[in-house]
Amino acid sequence: MKSKKNRLFIIAFTLPCALSLFIMYLYPIVRTVIMSFFGVESVTARMSEWSFNGIANYQKIFSSPTFHQAIRNMALIWIVGGILVLSFALLFAVILTSGIRFKKFFRAAIYLPNVISAVALATMWIQYIYNQEYGLLNKFLEALGLEGKNWMGTDMKFWAMLVAFVFGAVGYYMLIFINGIERISGDIFEAATIDGANKIQQFFSITMPLLRSIFKTNITFWSINCISFFLWSKMFAPVNTEASTVVPVVYLYDTVFGTTGNVTRDAGAGAAIGVVLSLFIAVVYFIMNKVIKDDDLEF
């Protein structure tokens, strides 16, 4: 009798959540996957207006040079940006947990760009750092007697955007690393010091192996961050989408809603892009779980 009542309570508590999950997440996912195989103009068009396309939407996006460029840009952000962000984040985390003075100040200063709106941050980089006439970089080059450069030209714009984005992202990952390092008991480092290990040896033999789960978390967060990369691309190409800064989500947005001066929409192809991006996240997550094992350590 009691277990029946308990079951009733369990159902009463879980049902609203399960229903919300079903309606808010599962239904759109299923609809998007189905939509990716149909010719659909408007994203909210009735299913009766859809026409079966087979894999034509996938063929369309995979043969599009703009989609190739978007994937290339995203991959570069993921790999190059990832190496830069995680390296700097780890470096700062190690320095800040090594007992330096003004730790709180430096931690806050490095995290600060995460508090500032990305729009303000991007504007600052575009107008005050990359500006050809009065930007910090060209003024610096000028002071050295060198010629200034158009940092926002087609050959440099992507890298300019990446550097600005990396600058804003380091603090977030640094905090996660700090948390991971502080979790490691001081006794381990003390014992290593007594055994004669120097700081570098301690870092590679103790800190790094014990941060494996944190690395996995950070790489997963970074991957999701890269796949949903949108605002920075829009800020660096505010009027039209440009090849140097296009990323898959911007390409998806343009495909679904049309572009400046062109009102053509293709929600079916947009859905196909969404499905490809979701698969990409799933693959990254799967590889991370396979490559980085963190369940063999206890400390």
Partner 1 sequence: MKKKIVSLLLVAMMAAGLVACGGNNGNGNKANETSGNETSEAGGEEEADKEEAGGEETETEEAGGEEAAGGNYEGVELTYWSMWANTEPQGKVIQAAVDKFQEETGAKVTIEWKNRDVKDILNSALESKENIDLFEDDYKRIAQNYAPYVADLSEMAEAAGYADKSYAVFQTQQKAWAQKKTGSEKFTSLAEQPQVGGIFYRKDLFEKAGVEVPTTWTEFMEVCKTLKENGIQPLALDSAYASFAFGYHLSRYVPEETISEMSKEGGWSSNADVAAAADSMIEFVNAGYLADGAPDEYPNSQNKIGMSDEVAMVICANYVTTEVNNTTKVELDWGLFNYPGVEGKDDLAASAYAGANSIAITDYCENKQAAFDLAMMIVTGENDQQMANDAGQIPADPANTAPASQNGTVEVLKATTSPLAWNMGIGENADLYPKLDECVIQLFEGKFATGADFAKALDGLY
Single out the segment in contact with partner 1 by CB under 8 A; choices: 9-17, 83-91, 166-174, 186-194: 9-17
Q: Dig out the tokens for 241 from the structure.
A: 């989408």
Q: Which position among 86, 244, 274, 284 is part of the footprint of partner 1 (CB under 8 A)?
A: 244
Q: Is residue 32 near partner 1 by the rule CB under 8 A? A: no
Specify whether the CB–CB gap between 177 and 211 falls below 8 A. Answer: yes
Q: Is residue 240 near partner 1 by the rule CB under 8 A? A: yes
Containing H/E element for 25?
none
Q: Is residue 217 near partner 1 by the rule CB under 8 A? A: no
- Which residues partner with 39 through β-bridges? 51
Specify whether the CB–CB gap between 288 and 219 falls below 8 A. Answer: yes
Q: Which position among 246, 249, 273, 275 is part of the footprint of partner 1 (CB under 8 A)?
A: 246
Q: Which position among 27, 128, 257, 299 is part of the footprint of partner 1 (CB under 8 A)?
A: 257
**Per-residue x/- marks for partner 1, 176-205, CB under 8 A?**
------------------------------
Q: Is residue 247 near partner 1 by the rule CB under 8 A? A: no
Specify whether the CB–CB gap between 258 and 265 falls below 8 A. Answer: yes
- Give the footprint of partner 1 on residues 114-173 (CB under 8 A): 126, 130-133, 150, 152-154
Single out the segment in contact with partner 1 by CB under 8 A; choices: 85-93, 109-117, 189-197, 236-244: 236-244
Residue placing its CB nearer to partner 1 in the complex, 158 or 172: 158
Residue placing its CB nearer to partner 1 in the complex, 19 or 116: 19
Q: Dig out the tokens for 293 from the structure.
A: 């094992």
Using DSSP, state whether 207 is helix, strand or coil.
helix
Backbone phi, then psi, for 262, in 5-degree steps? Answer: -130, 115
> How far from 70 is each of 11, 198, 248, 275, CA to CA, in Å?
45, 45, 5, 15
Contacts of 152 (CB under 8 A, 6+ apart): 126, 130, 132, 160, 236
Nearest distance from C-beta of residue 255 to partner 1, angstroms: 7
Nearest distance from C-beta of residue 236 to partner 1, angstroms: 8
Nearest distance from C-beta of residue 85 to partner 1, angstroms: 24
Buried b or exposed e, range 98-124, using 16+ CB within 10 angstroms: eeeeeeeeebeebbebbeeebeebbeb
* Count of positions on this chain that bind partner 1 (CB under 8 A): 44
Q: For the CA atoms of the chain, what is the radius of gyration? A: 24
Residue placing its CB nearer to partner 1 in the complex, 98 or 240: 240
Q: Indicate the residue type of 275.
A: V
Q: Is residue 262 near partner 1 by the rule CB under 8 A? A: yes
- Give the footprint of partner 1 on residues 37-96 (CB under 8 A): 42-46, 60, 64-66, 69
143-146, long-range: CB within 8 Å, 24+ apart, which pairs? none
Interface with partner 1 by CB under 8 A: which residues? 9, 12-13, 16, 20, 42-46, 60, 64-66, 69, 126, 130-133, 150, 152-154, 237-244, 246, 254-255, 257-265
